[in-house]
Amino acid sequence: MGRADNKTVMITGAARALGRSHALLFAEEGADLVLVDLGRESGGPYAMPGRKLLEETARDCRRLGSRVVTAVADVRDQSQVDAAVAAGLDEFGAIDVLVNNAGLLAPGGVMSHELSEEDWQLVVDVNLNGTWRCARAVLPHMAERRSGAIVNTASTGGLVAFEMFSSYVASKHAVVGLTKALALEYGRLGIRVNAVCPTTVEADPALRTESTAAVAASIGSSLEDYERSSASYHALRRLVTAREVSEAVLWLAADTAGGVTGTCLVVDGGFTAR
């Protein structure tokens, strides 16, 4: 039996990178999927995944045996988020798990006073407000069923600070706070809310990872040099893989973590142990 049998899982930012990794693992473990992404190649500081990449993720998940619904939605728009949730409910009748994965690392790489207000608002609106909007859309349904799990994507940047990425750090610290507040509010209704806090994730061409390279470029580094330098700050002397982060998300979402809520599961190779 799979660890996600008989569950419907909604994943935002599912077209590539961690979102694609999460989708593939949940598919392997028996889940039906509602896969959501922006669906256009503009709208951020680096190339956003188009509809083609979202459908590639869906195709690969169907090959693993999952039933899949795809939805194009910008997490900055509540009406689009609501429509994606409605599509999932129409097809499957329930959403058991929400994985809030959509997020932005940049614009960044500059001193805080050099950020424009638009740059600041973009990161906060996607990372924090988008997480809240998606939770807001699924929580009434979960509350009615008195069952559900939400896994928010925070970061080691939600626990410690990085220079030159103050908007990202602020937004991810806020996601940690939101996670705890929702856990307290909805625990009595049988809904668990947790966060996963990954460190820098090793780039994986098969997952169409681009954000790490964009961050490296923003500080004037190559991807290879950035990953090598970053790895030296980790106790394991390597970066974590997308699959390792996905395993943590799956565990938080599964019934075997039924007693876990309001916590942040750190997947960081020892980065924050210093």
For the chain, the structural domain boundaries read 8-273
Whether pLDDT at 137 is above 90:
yes
Q: Please state the rounded mean pLDDT for residues 30-42.
A: 88
How sure is the predictor about 45, in pLDDT bands with cuts at 50, 70 and 90? low
249-271 pLDDT, tens per residue? Answer: 999 999 999 999 999 999 999 99
What global pTM score does this model have?
A: 0.95
Distance CA 175, CA 267 (A): 16
Residue 112 and residue 258: Cα distance in Å, rounded?
Answer: 40
Q: Is the pLDDT of residue 274 over 90?
A: no
Per-residue pLDDT, averaged over 183-193, amounts to: 98
pLDDT band at 113 (very low <50, low <70, confident <90, very high): very high
- At residue 107 the predicted structure's pLDDT band, cuts being 50, 70 and 90, is confident
Identify whether the C-beta of residue 183 lies closer than 8 Å to the C-beta of residue 262: yes
Cα angle 201, 203, 206 (rounded to 5 degrees) comes to 125
168 in catalytic set: yes
Which candidate, 171, 166, 135, places its Cα nearest to that of 155?
171
Of these residues, 168, 186, 226, 233, which one is catalytic? 168
Nearest alpha carbon to residue 92 among 155, 48, 32, 14: 32
At 211 the pLDDT is: 72
| CA 193 to chain CA mean position, Å | 14
Confidence of residue 71 (pLDDT cuts 50, 70, 90): very high
What's the pLDDT at 159? 97
Q: Does domain 8-273 have CATH number 3.40.50.720?
A: yes
The whole-number average pLDDT for the span 135-150 is: 98
Among residues 100, 264, 75, 260, which one has the least CA distance to residue 176? Answer: 264
Question: Strand order in 97-100's β-sheet?
Answer: 68-72, 32-37, 8-12, 97-100, 148-153, 191-198, 264-267
Rounded distance, CA 249 to CA 265, Å?
A: 9
What mean pLDDT value characterizes the chain? 94
